Amino acid sequence: MKKLNLYVILAVAAMALGSNVLGGVLQVEDITISMGAPTFYTQASGFAIDSSAITADIRLFGASDYEYRINNTSVSVTACQLINDNSSGGFAEGDFAGGGTLTVTGDLVEVLADGSDGAIYATGITILEAVMVKDSTETWALVEDSSQPMPVPNRLGASVDFTPSNGGLNAGINVGNGDILKIDEFNCGFSFTNVMTTPPITSVENFSEMFMIGTQTSLQIRAIPEPCSILLMAVGGVGLLRNRKKYLL
């Protein structure tokens, strides 16, 4: 019975860590950012983004809906030089230097049940500033989706880990009732669809073109669970499963 109680306690603790409220801190699980047509690659600067966003929605751990929104959003990623062009077979793939900084600015507002804006918590601030986990001596890959039929839709993507370094979600943004909105280390998925190039070509084949524009661009930020949370959930879950089997026998 003591072992069962211990497993139950661990499982409850794991659920608490995985919940959206922990000691007044509302942990962000994901931020979905949709943009228009930013230029994301040039020969001169490599990979870089400097654009306004159409929508930017924030969801908390354990929540089914997006409860916060960033209005008047601007998104930038500092330049990451192309290190290797690994393109082949008509599909683009490149290794880019790490060390880049992602910055998101705008107004943080509440999202009401009907989808409209509610309370305004911050205006004209740096919502998030984060640096790539991989530094300038390491690389990350930007890859064209080879499963898509050529010559369209010319879809490129990348997955890069970041560590918050500044901004509201790093220190915590006060959203009332003594709660603060916060995010820790996260992964950012970059998606560029219907990519256009200059000079115009029918398909993206390599990174030798002058520049590339993603006419439909999205950033998907997802929090990386802390090791202690994963461990507690694993231990608690295994313990409950073992005892469930024991009582069923």
What is the identity of the amino acid at 202? Answer: T
CA trace torsion 143, 145, 149, 150 (10° rounding): -10
**What DSSP letter does each residue of 39-89 carry, written as one string?**
EEEETTTEEEEEEEEEEEEEEETT-SS--EEEEEEEEEEEEE-EEEE--BT
**pLDDT of amino acid 8:** 46
Report d(CA 14, CA 27) in Å as an integer: 14
**pLDDT of amino acid 153:** 59
**pLDDT of amino acid 184:** 96
Given a contact cutoff of 8 angstroms between Cβ atoms, the answer to whether 56 and 31 are in contact is yes
Q: Which residue has the higher pLDDT, 62 or 238?
A: 62
Among 25-34, 84-93, 235-244, which stretch is predicted with the lowest mean pLDDT? 235-244
**pLDDT of amino acid 18:** 44
Q: Which residues of 24-55 are buried (b: 16+ CB within 10 A; e: fewer)?
A: eebbbbbbbbbbeebbbbbeeebbbbebebee
Residue 244 confidence (pLDDT) above 50: no
**pLDDT of amino acid 138:** 98
Rounded to the nearest integer, the mean pLDDT of the chain is: 84
Given a contact cutoff of 8 angstroms between Cβ atoms, the answer to whether 132 and 100 are in contact is yes
Per-residue pLDDT tens over the stretch 204-228: 888 987 789 988 899 999 999 864 4
Phi-psi region of 45 (alpha: psi -120 to 50; beta: other; left: phi over 0): alpha
Q: Which residue has the higher pLDDT, 85 or 239?
A: 85
Per-residue pLDDT tens over the stretch 156-211: 999 999 999 999 999 999 999 899 999 999 999 999 988 888 777 767 888 987 78
Residue 115 confidence (pLDDT) above 80: yes
26 half-sphere exposure, CB direction, 13 A CA radius:
19
Report d(CA 204, CA 193) in Å as an integer: 11
Per-residue pLDDT tens over the stretch 17-62: 444 444 499 999 999 999 989 999 998 899 999 999 999 999 999 9
What's the DSSP call for residue 137?
A: T
